[in-house]
Amino acid sequence: MKRGMDFCLALLALLVLTPLILVVGFAVRLTSPGPVIYWSERVGRRNVLFSMPKFRTMYLNTPQLATHLLEGAEKHITPLGNLLRKTSLDELPQLWSVLVGHMSLVGPRPALFNQDDLVALRTQKGVQRLRPGITGWAQVNGRDELKLHEKVEYDVEYMQKISTEFDLKVLLLTMAKVLRRDGIQQAKISSHSNDSASEPQKRAA
């Protein structure tokens, strides 16, 4: 049932948001050189790797480090990229990942392939059985302010409470947080704390 709801809502969102997605894509293309979309290697369900798309928010030649580890990280983020991160519009391409079954609308945010501590802790707690989400219970309960073990605790709580009603609650809370821009440390770290990978410079659009 969750997969069916994910597919239907993601398809509806894509149909409704296509004009916005096109506008954002053209804006990324026009405001800085490089691909519109970058693909980040992520850890998916059962720890299987997949490529996750996002609108590019960083300049080319940015060192491939977690954003919060970059010295002067703000200088690597494009002016438009800063806006996209603050509004979470850079996540819109992930609706495609939901359609093809790599992600869910709600679930633990997908870890980077090199976030060994996070992957290990989630595996220990059984969280790896879930599809990663565009948003999650941890994201509406602190987002960037949470420590790693706190995020996993929220992931476990979500796993225990998972239901259609709970997913809808998380989606509504996410929309409210995005509108208020709560829990987002602008520029110095990425729009999600375990979305901290800088963008590879040679990804195809």
pLDDT averages per 10-residue partition of the chain, 205 residues: 96 98 98 94 97 94 65 82 93 98 98 93 98 96 85 98 97 91 48 44 39
- How high is the pLDDT of residue 74? 77
Q: How many of the other CB atoms lie within 10 Å of CB of 201? A: 16
pLDDT (0 to 100) of residue 142: 83
Evaluate whether residue 195 is within a structural domain. Answer: no
The conformational region for residue 128 under phi > 0 = left, psi -120 to 50 = alpha, else beta, is alpha
pTM of the model: 0.85
The total of other beta-carbon atoms located within 10 Å of residue 79's CB is: 10
138 assigned to some structural domain: yes
Structure tokens at 148: 């790693």
Number of folded domains in the chain? 1
- The string of DSSP codes covering 17-56 is HHHHHHHHHHHHHHHSSS-SEEEEEEE-GGG-EEEEEEE-
Residue 174: which domain range? 1-180
- 3-state secondary structure at position 135: strand
Residue 193, domain member (yes or no): no
For residue 146, give the DSSP letter: -
Instruction: Choose among 152, 191, 194, 199: nearest CA to 174.
Output: 191
138 pairs with which residues across the strands? none
Q: Kindly state whether residue 108 falls inside one of the protein's structural domains.
A: yes
Find out whether 39 and 53 touch, Cβ atoms under 8 Å. yes
* Residue 151 placed within a domain: yes
Residues in Cβ contact with 176 at an 8 Å cutoff, skipping those fewer than 6 apart: none
Strand (E) positions, 62-203?
104-106, 111-112, 133-135
Integer angstrom CA distances of residue 137 from 97, 157, 170: 19, 8, 6
Nearest-CA neighbor of 56 among 183, 189, 199?
A: 199
Give a yes or no: residue 204 inside a domain: no
Q: 113-167, pLDDT tens digit by residue?
A: 889 999 999 999 999 999 999 999 999 998 667 899 999 999 999 999 999 999 9
Spatial distance between the Cα atoms of 65 and 185, rounded to a whole number of angstroms: 17
